[in-house]
């Protein structure tokens, strides 16, 4: 059985199920329009820890435990973990997940990591390499600002094109155990570089990669945008969304009527002062789990294309005058 479809996609003959998922977020996300949907909202963004990095590790720890618990499983039932985060050397993942003693594939795909983790996890289960895996990721506003821009204590100002890194972690148990949603296919993205050099305008940096993988996916699977109830990008925000629609239109696809973006949905940008929208690995991970996946599970939606988007930015490359290339990975999720 060959699962290869088109240039960049796979279609799974035995599509793995999303057995369960969990989301944990910070205070600001809890105050946003989706606030009531998350499994846990912390009232202290340090989550009882001394540092922002340990706080982010705690998010991963809790999300893993909740997702595994909801599936009626124990950590030792999970054969592989696919996880990563935004921090240098992905320390939120290392320190967050080591206690569970589950074999780990560490990932780095910037904010596209949830798509990468779901893709590899689905490949693994569909091939019979595991009965259950966990795919997950996290981000934290304060650890990300410190890593990529300025420590919060500097109180620097932010342009309106800047996005706001979501404090949160989302975890997914994938397996053969029947549930109401399954991953039927994936399209793996390439790095796309449009020469953007503004670290405060990540939406513009990521939109070309999102357009590339969405159009490729539609072409590989022989589908039109209307074949999806929603096409959901990760964290383009309002600036990136416009660019995405334009680029997709240039490729012959009008996605404007079915497109939405987790970064736009998670905050009320005007009330909450979050600029162009939410961002970070955690943004798409928690929004899928809390807001979109339930609509697939209930059958309100039959099929969605979930497309977490990443900006391959580092302070080192940025300070050396390099561009910010983007990458995005698409995951087809269907009602089962």
- Contacts to a second copy by CB under 8 A: 1-4, 8, 10, 50-51, 53-54, 79-80, 84, 86-91, 94-95, 97-98, 101-110, 116, 119-120, 123-124, 126-130, 147, 188-193, 312-317, 320, 322, 325, 327
Minimum CB distance to a second copy smaller for 174 or for 269: 174
Q: Is 185 helix (H, G, I), strand (E, B) or coil?
A: strand
What burial letters (b/e) apply to 101-130, b meaning 16+ CB within 10 Å?
A: ebebbebbbbbbbbbbbbbbbbbbbbeeeb
Of residues 87 and 244, the one with the C-beta less far from a second copy: 87
Please report how close the Cβ of residue 269 comes to a second copy at its closest, in angstroms: 26
Residue 303 token pair: 């099929």
Cβ proximity to a second copy, 90 vs 201, nearer residue: 90
**Could you give the CA distance from residue 322 to residue 25 in angstroms, rounded to a whole number?**
32
* Complex with a second copy: residue 4 or 156, whichever CB lies closer: 4
Strand partners, 230: 304
Distance from C-alpha of 325 to C-alpha of 115, rounded to nearest angstrom: 17
213: its two tokens: 């993988």
> For residues 211 and 264, which CB has a smaller minimum distance to a second copy in the complex?
211
CB of 277 to a second copy, least distance (A): 21
CB 203 within 8 A of CB 318: no
Cα separations in angstroms, 171 against 118, 216, 247: 10, 27, 31
Nearest distance, CB of residue 208 and a second copy, angstroms: 12
Could you tell me the smallest distance in angstroms from the CB atom of residue 314 to a second copy? 4
The end-to-end CA distance of the chain, in Å, is 22
**Minimal distance, residue 254 CB to a second copy, in Å:** 25
Q: How far is the CB of 291 from a second copy (least distance, A)?
A: 26
CB of 216 or CB of 289, closer to a second copy: 216
Question: The tokens 């939410």 sit on which residue?
Answer: 278
């Amino acid at each position: 059985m060959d699962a290869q479809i088109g240039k960049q996609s796979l279609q799974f003959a035995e599509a793995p199920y999303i057995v369960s998922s969990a989301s944990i977020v910070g205070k600001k996300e809890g105050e946003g329009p989706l606030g009531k949907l998350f499994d846990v909202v912390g009232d202290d963004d340090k989550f009882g820890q001394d540092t922002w990095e340990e706080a982010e590790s705690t998010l991963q720890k809790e999300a893993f435990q909740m997702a595994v618990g909801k599936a009626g499983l124990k950590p030792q039932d999970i054969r592989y973990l696919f996880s990563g985060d935004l921090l240098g050397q992905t320390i939120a993942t290392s320190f967050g997940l080591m206690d569970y003693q589950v074999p780990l594939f560490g990932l780095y795909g910037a904010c596209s990591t949830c798509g990468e983790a779901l893709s590899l996890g689905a490949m693994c289960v569909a091939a019979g390499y595991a009965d259950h895996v966990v795919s997950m990721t996290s981000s934290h506003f304060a650890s990300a600002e410190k890593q990529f821009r300025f420590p919060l204590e500097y109180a620097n100002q932010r342009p309106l094109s800047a996005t706001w890194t979501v404090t949160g972690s989302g975890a997914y148990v994938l397996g053969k155990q029947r549930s109401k949603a399954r991953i039927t296919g994936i399209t793996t993205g390439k790095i796309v570089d449009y020469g953007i050099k503004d670290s405060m305008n990540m939406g513009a940096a990521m939109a070309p990669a999102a357009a590339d993988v969405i159009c490729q996916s539609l072409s590989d699977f022989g589908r039109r945008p209307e074949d999806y109830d929603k096409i959901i990008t990760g964290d383009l925000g309002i600036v990136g969304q416009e660019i995405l629609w334009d680029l997709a239109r240039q490729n012959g696809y009008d996605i404007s009527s079915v497109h939405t973006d987790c970064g736009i949905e998670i905050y009320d940008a005007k009330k909450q002062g979050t600029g162009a929208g939410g961002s970070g690995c955690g943004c798409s991970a928690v929004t899928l789990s809390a807001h979109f996946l339930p609509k697939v599970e209930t059958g309100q939606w039959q099929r969605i294309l979930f497309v977490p988007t990443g900006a391959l930015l580092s302070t080192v490359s940025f300070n050396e005058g390099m561009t910010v290339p983007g990458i995005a990975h698409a995951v087809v999720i269907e009602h089962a």
